[in-house]
Structure 1
Amino acid sequence: MLVARRGAGAHVEVVDELDRRLALAGRLDGRGRLMPDAVDAVIEAITDFRAVAEGAGAGDVRVVGTAAVREARNRPDLVSRVAEMGINLEVADASVEARYAFLGAVYGMPVSSGVLVDLGGGSLDLARFRDRTLVETATIPAGTLLARARFLAGDPPTEAEAEALHEWTRKAVRAAGFRRLGRDEALVVTGGAARNLAKIDRARRPRYPVAALHGYELRRARLRAITELLRSLGSGAGSVPGLNPKRVDTIAAGALVLGAAADAMRAKRLLVSGQGLR
């Protein structure tokens, strides 16, 4: 969660942040329902987030559910539980989710045209923009949790499994209409996996002078090397400098999906946004 204060014009001042990884897309049962402990975790997170937001001076608190909540068959039950807290849980459809991600990620970047790739646990959201105006969106069921469950059975995942995920994602991105970038277009990536991959790359560049991840340039060739390292290590990747231990189980899937999206659009570099839909 990010608490921000709107300043003059389009300026946004970040007041406070709180991270809570719920991984809801991986906590659906065989019937597509959020498990009871997942629902409890959502309520606990909202309680903590509201306390932080109100402590920072926020007035009206809005809660938005994205892909995993949208797909959960017991979504009404979760909405009711949140309503008992006096809060309306808004469930964003795919196009709204992509629009929110675009507004959060791109407006803080020095780019005017391109494609935003927002990788979450349940979905891969794509948004093309021209002159900082949203043009089209698409959502692909290739979030890190879904991709890992569907393609990466081994530990470590085999080369064949990794190639299958890469090819499926690349073809899905192209089928959605997101093909080669124009000369004036940039590929912007956001989401927890994207930011953590940037941290890993930065840790492999000891002389890199800037600590901030927002605006970090991740070269496709460097992402390819990191992806192979993470794939080969599997659950043993926790020793990789820069990797958040909570993402050990999904980071290889995230690297493969982002790499496939970049390849579908023939992007040589990925600009990492530290902002987005939180």
Structure 2
Amino acid sequence: MFAEEWPLMMFTLICQLAVGSYILLVLVRSILAQKDAPSAKRLTSFGFLAVGPLMALALIFSLFHLGTPTGAYRSILNLGSSWLSREILTAGGFFVLWFVSYKAYQKETVGNGLGWLTSLVGLLVIFSMVNIYGTSVRPAWDNANTYIAFFGTTFALGSLGAASFIAYGAKGSALSPEILTILKKVSLIGIVAVIIQLIYLPVFISGLGSGVAASIASAQLLSGSYLFPLVVYGVLSLVGVGLLYYGLGKATNTKSIPVNVVYLALIMVVVGEFIGRYVFYASAVSVMIGQS
């Protein structure tokens, strides 16, 4: 993989972690605020704060990918025809709305309308991101797998990120059974997100094998030299989300979140998704002029 793609890879992963965590934190807060507004604020406050620096870091990586960061403003001038321009606009909009919603969420009485609006813009960031690859000359990217992989990673990392931020916010205190049940449902979202990605992988590789020369080359890479990294990605991600669910299940007896288990699960999924994203970039072969 070319060195200049590393910033882009980091941008996609960190952005998806930030967006996914934010969405699931809004979900937890929306459900919990109906019964216990003070706990909703206490448990999610740190998470909402942490999303901002994560998104800022992602945006910094995106600037390095542009080659000339000082000229980044010119990339937003083609909103009518460029998915890159739309990605930049929505990413910037998500960051601004994060700041406004974080300030609003410091008030216990504020509703969740702004949070859901910010979540919608976050999903538009991921949608714009995916469509950039949908217009590429790499068949492995111009594929439904990119939608599944990017949105799947958003919710897989988001479930672990939200759970980790909430675990930190809880600071080892006892939680009600209702809160633990909500967190278990969040972990189930992560499990489903990972399973869907893994189920579609064989379909994706098989489809590439019946395409043009470039897609066949990508299929050969995925079933050959990159097969082992793909297996490692699948195992780490699946075990990670499973570990989160198991840890939260054990917490029903102690009523406190096993912080170390949650953090370990986060690390496993982050590493797994990093490997999976590396393979995504490294295995994509470009269509050459005159190639069929």
TM-score range (shorter-chain normalised) is: 0.3 to 0.5
Higher helix share goes to which structure? Answer: 2
Give the TM-score normalised by structure 2. 0.34
Where relative contact order (Cα < 8 A, 6+ residues apart) is larger, the structure is: 2
Greater Rg by CA: 2
Structure with the higher fraction of residues in strand conformation:
1
TM-score of the pair, normalised by structure 1: 0.35
